[in-house]
Structure 1
């Protein structure tokens, strides 16, 4: 038996329906029927009992299926492994993320990626805010989904996945906590808690030193991680700009997230080394895009018209 005929026979033995078998294998029903008849002539025995109402394996067909399945599965595994090796889709893919929403998408994409590419494992690690590209440059990450901007000559900035309105995190008793929205000009009145570690262009974008009108913005104590920043806000040491989405995941007593009405959004995109664009990286990007699209479609359907 040729490999294609074995595939047709085993699929029909599973489906017990010529139409579904043809659809699954992207063949015509006539091609499926011809293959089965050819094998029955060769063996001199019927493989299936079939009428207009049902299709059933004969005793001879049952035994043939039992004998063929182990070898066919071994062939499938060998071909799949060879394809993965040829395409560079083996080994370990190391993915970084920041924030809960980035991590959730990465985890969902990793499950789908490993199901499609079983010879490639995915390792997921959080990216520290104070050292956004250190692990990428050290070869400890292949790709990451983190905050923009990322103006680095040796790093590729890929597609944007999330774009969220910005909010100002203030103590619950702060005078701005009762406002419906705040303005960038309001930052002139209180110390701003910056993150230590990121490059200057990142700090200028997220933690400006002046308001749009040119008024200076005072600096509070710096923080290296999110938790430190929130503790400093709770202690009344300053205010902190963040994604408004953070209120969904990080709200706690004593904190208020007040939306900005005039600040640019907080965006999150993919980054990878310019010389590290491998088939694994490109395949994972494709999976991420597909997973995000599916998630957004589900959200739209749930929201209704």
Structure 2
């Protein structure tokens, strides 16, 4: 409906209550002739008389009374929608947040999402993003935020919350010679073919998943890319490849044909971040960051509930 049609309905509803053109005009802040014009235009659009007017009284026709009864709730609902939208616009609010993620979303995160909806009337719409493309959908505006591994060095992006760091483990086939030990050394990575992620991620981000060389300068070979974690684990189980994963993911993807080993000497742990575009930082995003902090540090025990999964592959 355009603006004039909304005014016509608003005028009829007011007239139905006042049953007086003068009082209706005063209520709407217009002239009596304007009230007459709006009612006449609406009657023309409907194709029937809605109001009977004599020198003594104003009344709705039978058709008009039925029309008011039907259109009144619809108008009230529309008015409520506009009122809520105006309030959200005044506060810079979003009623939905589109958030992308890698791997899985675990309890602490879903606790924060539920609190965001219950306490702030904001719904989170989740979307799994490609392993090797952590920032594309966010930079292109298709998502409001992403939960991805750090670091983030894009000038246009802000890290709103940093999740607790997690140890990285090496996934190898249960039949691999390294699987008989309790851990591996970071220099052992030079003897392996470590899976990398296919996508358009920047080099610094890919190198943070698996360094291009060991601390001693030995190159780490990576000949095969993966699109999903399950694809990676299947390749690892075949015996020709290895993959770096964070401890929470290893704890939740146990397989008889894959072993997860601590890596001695690996410099950096794995860490997730809640990331959004700096020029689109809505209040709901900073609120969500606070709720995530509470879920991990206060409201939900990190020791008693699953941690968010993260993976690493160059």
**Shorter-chain TM-score range:** 0.5 to 0.7
- Corresponding position of 1:275: 279
Q: How does 1:41-52 map to 2 (within 5 A)?
A: none
- Corresponding position of 1:171: 173
Could you tell me which runs of 5 or more consecutive residues in structure 1 were left unpaired when the two chains were aligned.
1-77
Looking at structure 2, the residues matched to 136 and 233 of structure 1 have their Cα atoms a distance apart, in angstroms, of 30
Q: Does 1:218 align with 2:233?
A: no
- Corresponding position of 1:239: 242
Tell me: CA distance 1:164–1:252, structure 2 relative to 1, closer, same or farther (3 Å).
Answer: same
TM superposition shift of 1:133: 1.0
TM-score, with normalisation over the residues of structure 2?
Answer: 0.65
- Corresponding position of 1:181: 183
Q: Contact between 1:193 and 1:239, CA under 8 Å: does it hold in 2? A: yes
Q: Deviations over 1:164-209 (max 9, x none)?
A: 1110000001111121111110011121111122221112222222
- Corresponding position of 1:206: 209
- Corresponding position of 1:256: 259
- Corresponding position of 2:141: 139
Q: Contact between 2:109 and 2:295, CA under 8 Å: does it hold in 1? A: no
Q: Contact between 1:161 and 1:267, CA under 8 Å: does it hold in 2? A: yes
Q: Report the 3-state secondary structure (helix = DSSP H, G, I; strand = E; otherwise coil) of the residue aligned with 1:163.
A: coil
Q: Contact between 1:220 and 1:237, CA under 8 Å: does it hold in 2? A: no
Q: Does 1:294 align with 2:298?
A: yes
- Number of aligned residue pairs: 223
Could you tell me which runs of 5 or more consecutive residues in structure 2 were left unpaired when the two chains were aligned.
1-81, 306-314
Looking at structure 1, the residues matched to 109 and 140 of structure 2 have their Cα atoms a distance apart, in angstroms, of 21
Q: Contact between 1:95 and 1:143, CA under 8 Å: does it hold in 2? A: yes
Give the aligned CA root-mean-square deviation in angstroms. 2.5
Higher relative contact order, structure no. (Cα contacts within 8 Å, ≥ 6 residues apart): 2
Q: How does 1:142-161 map to 2 (within 5 A)?
A: 142-161=144-163
Q: Report the 3-state secondary structure (helix = DSSP H, G, I; strand = E; otherwise coil) of the residue aligned with 1:162.
A: coil
- Corresponding position of 1:266: 270
Q: Which has the larger radius of gyration?
A: 2
TM superposition shift of 1:80: 8.5
Q: Contact between 1:169 and 1:255, CA under 8 Å: does it hold in 2? A: yes
TM superposition shift of 1:300: 7.3
Tell me: CA distance 1:167–1:86, structure 2 relative to 1, closer, same or farther (3 Å).
Answer: same
Q: Report the 3-state secondary structure (helix = DSSP H, G, I; strand = E; otherwise coil) of the residue aligned with 2:293.
A: helix
Looking at structure 1, the residues matched to 256 and 246 of structure 2 have their Cα atoms a distance apart, in angstroms, of 18
Looking at structure 1, the residues matched to 219 and 261 of structure 2 have their Cα atoms a distance apart, in angstroms, of 21
Looking at structure 2, the residues matched to 245 and 90 of structure 1 have their Cα atoms a distance apart, in angstroms, of 32
TM-score, with normalisation over the residues of structure 1?
Answer: 0.67
Q: Contact between 2:169 and 2:263, CA under 8 Å: does it hold in 1? A: yes
Tell me: CA distance 1:300–1:124, structure 2 relative to 1, closer, same or farther (3 Å).
Answer: closer
